[in-house]
Amino acid sequence: AYTHLQRAQPIRLAHYFLAYLEMYNRDEERFKDNLKRIDQLPLGSGALAGVDFPLDREFVAKELGFSEIMRNSLDATASRDAVIEFLSNASICMANLSRQSEDLIIWNSAEFSFVELPDKLTTGSSIMPQKKNPDVLELIRGKVGRVYGDLVALLTIVKGLPMAYNRDLQEDKEPVFDAVKTLKGSIIGMTKIIEGLKPRKDIMEKAAGGFALATDLANYLVRKGLPFRQAHHVVGQIVGYLTQQGRELESITLEELKKFSHLFEEDALNILNPYYVADARKTFGGTAKERVLEQINYWKEKLGA
């Protein structure tokens, strides 16, 4: 895994996808909660004060499938906050889709080569024959701006409206319809990408090692009683030593480690195995195999998969 787009700590690929599952689940929960405020019938509120005909609004709501009626006629004709809330939720969801798109675009690049995208969702270059462009992911990343714009458009429409109805509210439809269409298309596109994605295990395993294990080497010294600041300094010296020789962390020997600290013992070499390091993260929600399997089983049960 990366921080600041630099190798940070080894994790399991499943742990990465489970992180986005959590994010998309929160998106779903926001939409479900928003539905409570959308699922209210405004019909029967008249121009703003109600109507002077014997209209049974509760009967109409039941016939039309609404769970309840809006209680105040003035509010019913003037308010669009439930729709703004939907556009806000859509914007958050699109942001999550955009972030994952960016991840996969980077992973698909020749510099990373962590994954191979499905051919049917990529295109070649009209000039450069070696290229395989991640068009669908780029479109998802680009379309997030449309939904942001829809949200800002409606916020701008309502921000100066006096109570109650004004013709400005005629402009609330287009942003909503556009956001729904854009979000739906983006979700479908990302789903197809994930279904056809081919991880390159060998390249990912290589990236999970090396200096991504440096933090765990420092933690080893801390467990041996060395203050973290000193442990950080020692491992920094080790990294510099190996970098000057063009070597990776896995190549260091126990004898070399002991030159930097007498606290290093044979078990320190376990730290040079990214699977060992990942499995040490046993806290709830961590990337240890047993924890990842717990998360997978939780979501299988929750989603009925």
3-state SS of 56-97 is: CHHHHHHHHCCCEECCCHHHHHHCCHHHHHHHHHHHHHHHHH
Burial code (b: 16+ CB inside 10 Å, e: under 16) for 142-175 equals ebbebbbebbebbeebbeeeeebbeeebeebeeb
Per-residue pLDDT tens over the stretch 252-296: 999 999 999 999 999 999 999 999 999 999 999 999 999 999 999
Q: Percentage of the chain surpassing pLDDT 70? A: 98
pLDDT at 64 over 70: yes
Average pLDDT over residues 100-120: 96
* Candidates 4, 45, 101, 109; catalytic one: 4
Structure confidence at residue 172 (pLDDT):
95
Average pLDDT estimate for 297-301: 96
- Active-site choice (67, 73, 109, 125): 125
> 47 is written with which tokens?
């121009």
In the chain, CATH 1.10.40.30 sits at: 206-303
Of the candidates 252, 260, 212, 258, the residue with the CA atom closest to the CA atom of residue 3: 212
115 backbone dihedrals φ, ψ, rounded to 5°: -140, 160
Q: Is 125 a catalytic residue?
A: yes
pLDDT attached to residue 127: 67
Instruction: Give the span between the Cα atoms of 279 and 12, in whole angstroms.
Output: 9
The pLDDT tens digits of the residues spanning 203-232 come to 999 999 889 899 999 999 999 999 999 999
pLDDT reported for residue 164? 92
Is 4 one of the annotated active-site residues of the chain? yes
42-48: average pLDDT? 96
Q: Does domain 80-200 have CATH number 1.20.200.10?
A: yes
The yes/no answer on whether domain 206-303 falls in CATH 3.40.50.720 is no
Portions of the chain given CATH number 1.20.200.10: 80-200
**Whole-number pLDDT of residue 131:** 73
pLDDT score of 180: 98
* The pLDDT of residue 126: 67
Q: Is the pLDDT of residue 163 over 90?
A: yes
- Report cis status (omega within 30 of 0) of the bond before 164: yes
Query: What is the arithmetic mean of pLDDT over 127-141?
Result: 86
